Amino acid sequence: MAQYCAVHSNNEAIAICCTCHTHICVKCHRFNSLAYAICPVCEVALQNFEKTLFPWESVAVSQMPVAFFKTVKNVIFSPLAFFTDFSFWHRFDKKRKEGFSRALLFGILCSVFGVSISGYYKFLFVEDFVPELEKVLAASSPEITLQTAMPFLVALFPIIGLCAFFMHWFMLHIGLKALNIETNWSLTGRITAYSSAAYLALAIPPLAQFPIGYLIAIGFLVQLETTALRIVFQMSAAKTFVAILFPFLVTMFLYR
């Protein structure tokens, strides 16, 4: 049976876009740098991607702050385009392996910043937090006061953020492996890293004790990871749900 172009319903499809898998006709047929067929939408996304993700993974150190915010903007506001090209790049362009540590740095920066700031907010916005903390400290040793413990507490939040990132990476990898998805540590690590942009929403302060930033961060994290998994592994909605839910529940259980 003949397939028709996703855009021009009268034209017979001559190829399938290697990135988004839509049918494309002669008019829509484009090539990427490796001469694979792509659709016009993916062509534009790919060009944008070249300008956004790769700068973060390959720019000079002095350009990194700008590249960081550009990447955050792209992950959060155009996750579909971002992960579409991410997926494309990962499958066909293996030359860019050296950017992996930069990708991890991106994820770590987002997690450490988000978790730290949400920790510091507890001192400011959670009413019982300081008295409860003083009780715990007093119970552990009479010599420890909030003042003397403060430097350790301040340093503790970034460490929790760092652990959260690696835990997230590990759990997602295990979740995917449990579902028999073909992945590797570097691919799962990159997905975790870029999805971690969601943690930045933790910078939104609570409104009258209501944890807005926390809820937005969780929502964004699920959204970004769902998008990434569906695009990168072409997983069904149900499988994606299981892969994300499993690590999510374990993390929730551990942090309870």
Under 8 Å between Cβ of 123 and 129 = yes
- Is 198 a binder of Zn ion (CB under 5 A)? no
Residue 212: Cβ within 10 Å count: 14
- Is 96 a binder of Zn ion (CB under 5 A)? no
Angle, in degrees to the nearest 10, between helices 185-195 and 212-233: 140
- Is 5 a binder of Zn ion (CB under 5 A)? yes
Residue 68 identity (one-letter amino acid): F
- Is 13 a binder of Zn ion (CB under 5 A)? no
Residue 160: Cβ within 10 Å count: 17
- Which value, in Å, is the radius of gyration of the alpha carbons in the chain? 22
Choose the stretch contacting Zn ion; rule: CB under 5 A; options: 36-44, 70-78, 133-141, 164-172: 36-44
CB nearer Zn ion, residue 19 or residue 192: 19
Binder among 3, 4, 12, 27 for Zn ion (CB under 5 A) = 27
Binder among 15, 20, 72, 112 for Zn ion (CB under 5 A) = 20
CB nearer Zn ion, residue 186 or residue 234: 234
- Is 108 a binder of Zn ion (CB under 5 A)? no
3-state secondary structure of 6: coil
CB nearer Zn ion, residue 85 or residue 173: 85
Nearest distance in Å: CB 46, Zn ion: 9
**Which residue, chain included where needed, has tokens 């460490």?**
159
- Is 42 a binder of Zn ion (CB under 5 A)? yes
- Is 7 a binder of Zn ion (CB under 5 A)? yes
Under 8 Å between Cβ of 118 and 110 = no
- Is 17 a binder of Zn ion (CB under 5 A)? yes
CB nearer Zn ion, residue 5 or residue 104: 5
Nearest distance in Å: CB 88, Zn ion: 9
Q: Please give the span between the terminal C-alpha atoms of the chain, in angstroms, as a whole number.
A: 54
Distance in angstroms (rounded) separating the CA atoms of residues 136 and 141: 9
- Is 115 a binder of Zn ion (CB under 5 A)? no
H-helix or E-strand containing 254? helix 237-255
Distance in angstroms (rounded) separating the CA atoms of residues 247 and 251: 6
CB nearer Zn ion, residue 165 or residue 233: 233
Binding site for Zn ion (CB under 5 A): 5, 7-8, 17, 19-20, 25, 27-28, 39, 42
